[in-house]
Chain A
Amino acid sequence: MSVDTATVRHIAKLARIAVTDHEVEALVPELNNILGWIEQLGEVDVTGVEPMTAVIPNQLRMRPDEITDGNVRDAVLKNAPVAEHGFFAVPKVIE
Chain B
Amino acid sequence: MNAPYRIQGATGEWEVVIGLEVHAQVTSKAKLFSGAATEFGAEPNTQVSLVDAAMPGMLPVLNEECIRQAVRTGMAIDAKINAWSRFDRKNYFYADLPQGYQISQLYHPLVGEGEIEVELEGGATKKIGVERIHVEQDAGKLMHDQHPSFSYVDLNRSGVALMEIVSKPDMRSPEEAGAYVRKLRSILRYVGSCDGNMEQGSMRADVNVSVRRPGEPFGTRTETKNVNSVRFIMAVIEYEASRQVDVLESGDSVVQETRLFDPDKGETRTLRSKEDAHDYRYFPDPDLLPLELSDDFLRECRESLPELPDAKRKRYEQELGISAYNAAVLTAEVETARWFEELLAATGKTGPEVGKAASNWVISDLFGALNRLGKDITESPVTPAQGAELIGLVADGTLSGTLAKQVFEIMLETGDNPGKIVEERGLKQTSDTGEIEKVIAEVMAANADKVAEYRGGKDKLFGFFVGQTMKAMGGKANPGVVNDLLKKALG
Contact = CB atoms under 8 A, between A and B. Distances in A.
B151 A93 contact: yes
A62 B67 contact: yes
B151 A91 contact: yes
A63 B61 contact: yes
Contact of B43 (A59, A86, A92, A94): A86
Contact of A73 (B48, B272, B289): B48
Interface string A13-41: 01010000000000000000000000000
Contact of B291 (A16, A58, A60, A69): A60
B279 A63 contact: no
A65 B68 CA distance: 11
Interface residues of B, number: 51
Contacts of B263: none
B45 A76 contact: yes
Contacts of B144: 92-94
Nearest to B51: A69
Interface in A67-95: 67-73, 75-77, 82, 84-95
B271 interface: yes
A54 interface: yes
Contacts of B66: 65
A91 B28 CA distance: 33
Nearest to B93: A16
Interface in A38-58: 53-54, 58
B95 A93 contact: yes
A53 B279 CA distance: 25
Contacts of B149: 91-92
B289 A59 contact: yes
A95 B143 contact: no
A70 B47 CA distance: 5
A86 B44 contact: yes
**Could you tell me the dominant secondary structure of chain B's interface residues?**
loop
B151 A89 contact: yes
B65 interface: yes
A62 B37 contact: no
B268 to A, nearest CB: 13
**Could you tell me the dominant secondary structure of chain A's interface residues?**
loop
A87 B152 contact: yes
Nearest to A58: B289
A59 to B, nearest CB: 6
A67 B37 contact: yes
Given A62-B61, A62-B67, A95-B271, A71 B153 contact: no
A95 B64 CA distance: 35
Nearest to A10: B279
A59 B292 contact: yes
Most chain B beta carbons < 10 A, residue from A59, A86, A87:
A87
Most chain B beta carbons < 10 A, residue from A70, A71, A82, A90:
A70
Most chain A beta carbons < 10 A, residue from B28, B91, B151, B288:
B151
Contacts of A71: 46-47
A7 to B, nearest CB: 11
Interface of B: 28-30, 34-37, 43-51, 53, 61-67, 91, 93-95, 142-144, 146-147, 149-155, 260, 271-272, 279, 281, 284, 288-292
30 contacts: A14-B279, A53-B289, A60-B292, A62-B62, A63-B61, A63-B62, A64-B63, A65-B64, A65-B65, A65-B66, A67-B30, A68-B30, A69-B36, A69-B50, A70-B48, A72-B48, A73-B43, A73-B45, A73-B46, A84-B150, A84-B152, A87-B44, A88-B45, A88-B153, A89-B147, A90-B151, A92-B144, A93-B144, A94-B144, A95-B272
Given A69-B35, A70-B47, A88-B95, 14 more contacts: A14-B279, A60-B62, A62-B67, A64-B65, A68-B35, A70-B35, A70-B37, A72-B48, A84-B150, A86-B46, A88-B45, A89-B153, A93-B95, A94-B151
